[in-house]
Amino acid sequence: MKRCDVCNKTSLLPENLGKVNICKICFLKVNGPAWKYKKIESMYELEKYHEKAISSAQKNDFPKQVIDEINNYFSQKKSTMERCDACGEERLTIIKMNEAKICKKCYSKIESKEWKNKNYTSREQLDAEKNKIIQIAQKSNYPKEAIKFINDTFESKVENNWMYTIDGNAGQILKVYKDYFSINTTNEFDIDGIAEEYAIICSEDHPKKNNQFSKSDAQNIVKGMMGSTGGLVKDMLVAGISKKSLTSKGINAITNKFTSGIESTIINAVGNAYDETYPEKKDFKQHKGERVYKYTDFEILEFRDIGDDTLGYLKFQNQNTIKNSDYDVLYFYDCDAKDDIIKLMPKVYSYMKKKINKKEKETNKENNSKTETNNSAIIEDIKKFKELLDMGAITQEEYDKKKKQLLDL
């Protein structure tokens, strides 16, 4: 229990301002709860509260020492405010952008959380977002320092020469740079499932594509035609045999033969024919983890746009190893990938295709067998540094620098 320095009555839990205590009733007379517990962002608002509090205190004959403490309270609050370099007003919450000071209100206009945490899929998308944010900042009178800060923040999100990052929802991340690209095949990559889809999309008229009959459907149709309960084959057989005036005993002998051994032989043959035409899987070799490739490693790039299929892909091939599919480098993307990724794929393809074609023209002039062995050595080196990075032995910055060096960028 303390005594109120205004009304002199004892009060449970009075408000404390510096050296004085004020009971709840007296504190309410100067609108105290509003200015003591509300976060007042602007100097203008704070001054209004100050003026009103003092005039109410005077009207209610508050003692001088209480008025002094109210004044102290407000000057202390005012001293924590800083001038915003954008709107020019003095405000409570200030965000530093390089040397520039931006108030919370001005800062909220550029909605930084959204673009700061976003993973961009292409340089183009990032540039568009960057320009949009900078335009808003300029409109809001952000100083040059702050604009530079926004620009640098965007640039720090990307590695040098980066063009695209594609997550095709099939467990592989494709990163495209100006002079090389990388494919990171994660544990999410379901090689058996992909091999099945790959087989389907590679066969133009695959029944599964058009929801046509499956292998067992095909077998059942044949089974029905020759089945032990009758069926088309049996009917034809009966008709044919009747023409030849065979005895009913003879007919029974032939149809009985159909229902025993021959049926399963024919069913199996149908199954095999189906598998040959439409293999269940199209196998390919796939390395796990991140691999870095130079465009100069390849001459051929095949793109299968997803269209109505469940899977699309990019296939990189080298003229020397084209006959061995083990050397194919494959990047798969799935129909469940984000729409903008699916729409972006043809663009990514034509970008990479140009890079690969350019190489073809250049290397036609010279013998490139040397560079090829060099390239695999470079890739091995990059792999070693990636391991060091993953172990935490080197920083991301050191790794990027080393990678750039090795790739001669």
Stretch that binds Zn ion, among 15-23, 211-219, 227-235, 311-319 (CB under 5 A): 15-23
The minimum distance between CB 167 and Zn ion, in angstroms, equals 38
All residues at 6 or more sequence positions from 108 whose CB lies less than 8 Å from its CB, including other chains: none
Residue 107 or 313: the one with the smaller Cβ distance to Zn ion is 107
Residue 3 or 384: the one with the smaller Cβ distance to Zn ion is 3
Residue 41 or 129: the one with the smaller Cβ distance to Zn ion is 41
Answer for which of 28, 54, 67, 87 binds Zn ion (CB under 5 A) is 87
Does position 166 interact with Zn ion (CB under 5 A)? The reply is no
Answer for which of 106, 218, 348, 389 binds Zn ion (CB under 5 A) is 106
Does position 191 interact with Zn ion (CB under 5 A)? The reply is no
Answer for which of 17, 103, 176, 344 binds Zn ion (CB under 5 A) is 103
Residue 20 or 106: the one with the smaller Cβ distance to Zn ion is 106
The minimum distance between CB 102 and Zn ion, in angstroms, equals 6
Does position 378 interact with Zn ion (CB under 5 A)? The reply is no
Stretch that binds Zn ion, among 98-106, 129-137, 296-304, 317-325 (CB under 5 A): 98-106
Alpha carbon distance, N-terminus to C-terminus of the chain: 75
Does position 86 interact with Zn ion (CB under 5 A)? The reply is yes
- Total binding residues toward Zn ion, as defined by CB under 5 A: 10
The minimum distance between CB 294 and Zn ion, in angstroms, equals 49
Distance in angstroms (rounded) separating the CA atoms of residues 71 and 74: 5
Q: 381, 388, 372: which is closest to 403 by C-alpha?
A: 381
Which residues make beta-bridge pairs with 73? none
**Stretch 44-83: interaction string toward Zn ion, x if CB under 5 A:** ----------------------------------------
Does position 17 interact with Zn ion (CB under 5 A)? The reply is no
Does position 136 interact with Zn ion (CB under 5 A)? The reply is no
Does position 23 interact with Zn ion (CB under 5 A)? The reply is yes
Answer for which of 17, 20, 21, 26 binds Zn ion (CB under 5 A) is 26
Does position 100 interact with Zn ion (CB under 5 A)? The reply is no
Binding site for Zn ion (CB under 5 A): 4, 6-7, 23, 26, 84, 86-87, 103, 106
